[in-house]
Amino acid sequence: MERVLTRNIHKENSQSIGVYLAGGGYEGLRKAVTSMTPAEVVDAVKKSGLRGRGGAGFPTGLKWSFMPQEKTKKHYLLCNADESEPGTFKDRLLMEQDPHMTLEGCMIGAYAMQADACYIYIRGEFVFGARMLDEAVAEAYAKGYAGKNVCGTGWNCDLVVHRGAGAYICGEETALMTSLEGERGNPRVKPPFPAQFGVWGMPTTINNVETLACVPDIIVRGPEWFAGIGTDERNTGSKLYCLSGHIQRPGVYEAPMGLPLKELINDLGGGMLHPDRPLKACIPGGSSVPVLRAEECDCNLDFDSLAALKTGLGSAGIMVMDTSTCMVKALQRISHFYAHESCGQCTPCREGCGWMERILLRIEEGRGLQQDIDLLKNIADNIEGRTICALGDAAAWPVQSFVTKFRDEFQAHIDEKRCTVQGATYA
């Protein structure tokens, strides 16, 4: 299939504005600001069926339309480049290899919502990506694609790269705003929603990097073209999949929305890492979404197909596990991550994540008690849906799904006081 988002990344000097312009870059921005009204841009994105690529899959055009029509205050667009979900590394590729595509998307989005500035909040560890973005922003300013008088239209919009300081929670949209304001990056209680009361109290929209990178081509080639790619009208467009785990060729793959998971593993990914170790489980959307058993993996990678399996496409971080994987150890590692990254603000997540991790560590180390499996499930149930932000859910879902779908393995761990998985290797 045709590569859209990754069409430039293998070119020499793919980060430079020259290469980007030669490939038709900034035509979308020019078209939007010179021949379309902001409302028409929002409409086009609505028609394209584009859904947010950050994890929740919320329709982007609809989100944009939540911004006040009458502008009474400053408007802001925030580009969420705090990509930190374990197993996810697609935004990093875009920013490091083709930053202008993201910048162009930012500027089109900013125009559609009449934003006064767009902040790109990039994960602190992405040093190279931040440098590429900084250089690209300077080039965009120099060529008149950002700043004052964009494309000669008299419209002004600043573009600012802001580096985070290394907290997973700052990728949560309200925590990102708090962090950008210079405060401790705690999520905020909603409502009020960002479109009414966002960063510095101004109407704000937050979009993921890949989401915004999709926008230039929607404007240039039309929403119908974008909507024509993918499974159906609710799952459209070209998509980046992050493939990792026990796989021959891990990496980022671009394919239409709805790519069959087996095709990603066996064709694009070159099959399982070891021919004698078949697929055991797969996490399809970053570490927070419920795990799939091997027999559930004959599915398509899109929002609705995976929702039907009670999991999610999330950030499209597909983690493949073969039969040598100890599910107790895997879950313990995941839970450690969430316990470490919980902001500590609200009670169920702050206390529950650490509690689950300590129980999992106990099982993993052969000290598990018979009641631990039910206890884990119960703690996760008590966290889910009762926290300020989605981190609580993200910590609960893996626990619920692992202990339910692989209960025997947890039970064996407790009974045998050791790992019973053949050939389990610990990194």
Q: Which residue has the tokens 């650490």?
A: 354
Distance, CA of 400 to CA of 298 (rounded, Å): 21
Q: Is 3 or 184 the residue whose CB approaches another protein more closely?
A: 184
Q: Is 231 or 382 the residue whose CB approaches another protein more closely?
A: 382
List all residues 6 or more positions away from 205 whose beta carbon is below 8 Å from its beta carbon. Answer: 63, 64, 66, 67, 76, 77, 78, 109, 113, 115, 194, 195, 198
Q: Is 225 or 355 the residue whose CB approaches another protein more closely?
A: 355
Least distance CB 346 / another protein (angstroms): 4
Least distance CB 5 / another protein (angstroms): 33
Give the 3-state secondary structure of 262-304.
HHHHHHHCCCECCCCCCEEEEECCCCCCCCEEHHHCCCEECHH
Contacts of 224-229 with C-beta under 8 Å, sequence gap 24+, read 224/47, 226/48, 226/49, 226/50, 227/47, 227/48, 227/49, 229/256, 229/257
Distance, CA of 342 to CA of 129 (rounded, Å): 25
Q: Is 100 or 329 the residue whose CB approaches another protein more closely?
A: 329
Contact 243, 269 (CB under 8 A): yes
Least distance CB 422 / another protein (angstroms): 29
Least distance CB 56 / another protein (angstroms): 15
What per-residue string of b and e applies to 121-133 under the rule 16 or more CB within 10 Å gives b? bbbbbbeebbebb
CA dihedral 222, 224, 230, 236 (to 10 degrees): 70
Q: Is 309 or 390 the residue whose CB approaches another protein more closely?
A: 390
Least distance CB 189 / another protein (angstroms): 4
Query: Which residues lie near another protein (CB under 8 A)?
Result: 167, 169, 184, 186, 189, 339-348, 350-355, 358-359, 362, 375, 382, 385-388
List all residues 6 or more positions away from 127 whose beta carbon is below 8 Å from its beta carbon. Answer: none
Least distance CB 341 / another protein (angstroms): 7
Least distance CB 292 / another protein (angstroms): 24
Contact 118, 151 (CB under 8 A): no
Q: Is 262 or 350 the residue whose CB approaches another protein more closely?
A: 350
Least distance CB 147 / another protein (angstroms): 35
Q: Is 107 or 349 the residue whose CB approaches another protein more closely?
A: 349
Any bridge partners for residue 160, and if so which?
A: 119
Helix (H, G, I), strand (E, B) or coil at 235: strand
Q: Is 205 or 345 the residue whose CB approaches another protein more closely?
A: 345
Contact 292, 283 (CB under 8 A): yes
Q: Is 288 or 345 the residue whose CB approaches another protein more closely?
A: 345
Q: Residue 330 to residues 102, 171, 245, 406, 416: CA-CA distances in angstroms?
A: 34, 23, 12, 11, 18
Least distance CB 391 / another protein (angstroms): 10
Q: Is 44 or 346 the residue whose CB approaches another protein more closely?
A: 346
Least distance CB 382 / another protein (angstroms): 4
Least distance CB 405 / another protein (angstroms): 23
The amino acid occupying position 91 is D
The amino acid occupying position 166 is G
Q: Is 135 or 351 the residue whose CB approaches another protein more closely?
A: 351
Record the tokens describing residue 168, joined without a space.
Answer: 């997973």
Main-chain dihedrals φ then ψ at residue 309, nearest 5 degrees: -90, 15
The DSSP letter of residue 94 is H
